[in-house]
Amino acid sequence: MNNTMDELCVNTIRTLAMDAVQQANSGHPGTPMALAPVVYCLWQRFLRFDPGHPIWPNRDRFVLSVGHASMLLYAMLHLTGVKAVNPEYETPGHLSVTLEDIKRFRQIDSKCPGHPEYRWTSGVETTSGPLGQGVATSVGMAIAERWLASYFNRPGFDLFDYNIYALCGDGCMMEGISGEAASLAGHLKLANLCWIYDNNHITIEGNTALAYSDDVATRFIGYGWNVTRVGDANDLEMLERAFTTFKNTTDRPTLIIVDSHIAYGAPHKQDTCAAHGEPLGKEEIKLAKRHYGWPEDAEFLVPEGVRELFQAGINARGRALRDAWWTKFEAYKRQYPELADHAYRMQRRELAEGWDKGLPVFPADSKGIATRDASGQTLNALARNLPWLLGGSADLGPSCKTRLTFEGAGDFSAGNPAGRNLHFGIREHAMAAILNGLSLSKIRPYGSGFLIFSDYARPAIRLSALMELPVIHIFTHDSIGVGEDGPTHQPVEQLASLRAIPGLVTLRPADANEAVEAWRVIMQFRHEPVVLILTRQALPTLNRTKYAGAEGVRRGAYILADADDGKPEVLLLATGSEVSLCIETYEKLKADGIKARVVSMPSWEIFERYCRERPDYREQVLPQAVTARVSVEKASTLGWTRYVGIGGHSIGMETFGASAPLKELQKKFGFIPENIIVAAREQIAKVR
């Protein structure tokens, strides 16, 4: 670095990271120190980002996939003066990250937690703790930009033309999700995507040679990426040339391999300590600061001129770009008012006018249809009304019924970025992370697969809940109803594990009309991700003139059938395909003079939320006086005790499934009315 001010800014980033980690006595100083020149060059010279309005829709996105290097991002957010954004999408004027926040790095309520957290710290584009998640999410952001440009841009009005930069490391490259995502990005020729790979050869256990010898450049060339290399992370001129190469590449994504040395400039400390979770120590910090020509005893020092340089660089550039964009948008709004309205609503996660018109209504039918089929019809009706509802499947569209079939829907591809059917290939984990990237870009995305493969997608599903993103995960083949495919394809523990994720809503509708109502509920969420769990096999479409209406889904659980006097002796609780079994049981018990109540419970989470708002509702549906209770669900019984009580009975799966036709499986595992009747009678006898 020849420019004194450039070097001063880079060393400010480094020393802030060192001091914050030391004060917290926790964290990772090495990577921020090594990559400070890379991020400085990108932000100060290239990034189209306005710190004064960090959610400007056409901003470039910067994703720190190496989330353990969070101090690198916090330093940039502070030094560039990024403003905080409140839940109403307003900028009240105060800083997102103050120097005091940095001094309280990794402490309770600081805006500088151990890993970057979306929603918690303005300027953080995505939560990026688990390695590989950030880069995979960035592919979703890149797909989103391509779709947004195709939908909104018009001659003279390029509303969306931003780029996505993701900083990753050896750990990201080792995780399988990054390979899944990179393969798809290359296939789609996402030229708006740039990954910057910190090639430092260090992980927690030591040199990467212990477990890793990939030729990353050759691998990415094979994926269809443009690959360039910077031999020294401190060479700003070479970094600038690499970023310029990316911007000039129009037919493929770019990987910039940057060779760095962990804790560069602090050679007295073991590399692994500096990289992974251990402060340098006060004496080592003094040596490093001496090496930088820094006052050795100064802590959290931001020298005069550093903030001003950023103001003259990224801030001035970003402000001019944003102002020009809003001026253009005002003219766009006059010429294309409907599209402008769509852009506004989409950015605020609002629904279009008439979003729920034309939803199907299914007549009572003892044979019925599978809830996956009812869902597919509903999804197509909704997507006609809401242009930014798009998605696809992990190679299971025909089975999951998630293909948009109306005229003009089309397939998203390198040659057709306007397509609304996404093809993720057999990449469940990357699919879920890409959905997060789409949602972070304000598109309303859905992805689908078999429920058993939610295990493959779970880490990214968890992050959608952590970030409060309204992603829609559609899972079919929901139980041992898969039949002959056998236990490898029959989910048992998946429902319980998904219900265990805080903030995630599970919905398992009982028939076609519950499936429609489930979608009606889902579409009104703005901050809750959902797993919609559907059957492959046909289920009876219940007679809603005889039993309660399906609109009870919006309350999470509701009385579907009741004793004539409203005073049941036993409660039968179920979700999904087992509700119709309970209805059949209810009719048999009624014929025998036993008063039962059937409660359909499509969503525990929605039920609990509704009961918090209406405390009397729980007692209406599940009266405490009725302790004779039976739950029925073709899944692990874990969790049902909260509804049936310690003395209640749960009919569910205690083992894995088996390969056989559905009817045989139902008999083998006890999912037949006769078994439910026995359990109900035993419960009543126990109470008496």
Q: What gap in Å lies between CA 619 and CA 622, rounded to an integer? A: 5
Beta-bridged to residue 568, according to DSSP, are none
Q: Is 28 annotated as a binding residue?
A: yes
Q: Is 131 annotated as a binding residue?
A: yes
Q: What amino acid is encoded at 326 in this protein? A: W
Q: What amino acid is encoded at 117 in this protein? A: E
- Contact by Cβ (8 Å): 8, 31: no
- Contact by Cβ (8 Å): 48, 165: no
At 42, list the tokens: 């990108």
Q: Name the CA dihedral angle for 96, 102, 106, 110, rounded to a multiple of 10 degrees.
A: -40
- Concerning whether 551 is annotated as a catalytic residue, the answer is no
Q: Is 49 annotated as a binding residue?
A: no
Q: Is 243 annotated as a binding residue?
A: no
Q: Is 200 annotated as a binding residue?
A: yes
Q: What gap in Å lies between CA 560 and CA 602, rounded to an integer? A: 12
Residue 561's H or E segment, with its range, is: strand 558-561
**CA-atom Rg of the chain in angstroms:** 28
Contacts 24+ apart (CB under 8 A), 212-219: 212/170, 212/173, 212/174, 214/173, 216/173, 216/255, 216/257, 217/255, 217/257, 219/179
Q: Is 372 annotated as a binding residue?
A: yes
Give the ranges where 123-191 is alpha helix by DSSP (H). Answer: 133-152, 170-174, 176-187
Q: Is 78 annotated as a binding residue?
A: no
- Contact by Cβ (8 Å): 260, 200: yes
- Of 642, 644, 640, which Cα lies nearest the Cα of 627? 644
Q: Is 589 annotated as a binding residue?
A: no
Q: What gap in Å lies between CA 557 and CA 631, rounded to an integer? A: 13
- Catalytic-labelled residue, pool 175, 284, 428, 605: 428
531: burial class by Cβ within 10 Å (0-12, 13-18, 19+)?
buried
Q: Is 156 annotated as a binding residue?
A: no
Q: Is 526 annotated as a binding residue?
A: no
- Of 260, 252, 248, which Cα lies nearest the Cα of 224? 252
Specify whether the backbone of 90 is left (phi greater than 0), alpha (psi in -120 to 50) or beta.
Answer: beta
Q: Is 276 annotated as a binding residue?
A: yes
- Contact by Cβ (8 Å): 596, 586: yes
Q: Which three-class secondary structure state does DSSP give residue 87? A: coil
Q: What amino acid is encoded at 164 in this protein? A: I
Q: What gap in Å lies between CA 26 and CA 278, rounded to an integer? A: 6
Q: Is 459 annotated as a binding residue?
A: no
Q: What gap in Å lies between CA 159 and CA 163, rounded to an integer? A: 13
- Contact by Cβ (8 Å): 131, 124: no
Q: Is 536 annotated as a binding residue?
A: yes
What order do you get walking across the sheet with 226-230 strand by strand?
Answer: 61-64, 164-169, 193-199, 254-259, 226-230
Q: What gap in Å lies between CA 13 and CA 73, rounded to an integer? A: 9
Q: Is 50 annotated as a binding residue?
A: no
Residues contributing to the annotated binding site for thiamine diphosphate: 68, 129-131, 171, 200, 276, 453
Residues contributing to the annotated binding site for substrate: 28, 276, 372, 399, 477, 485, 489, 536
Residues contributing to the annotated binding site: 28, 68, 129-131, 170-171, 200, 202, 276, 372, 399, 453, 477, 485, 489, 536
Residues contributing to the annotated binding site for Mg(2+): 170, 200, 202
Q: Among all residues, which ones are annotated catalytic?
A: 428
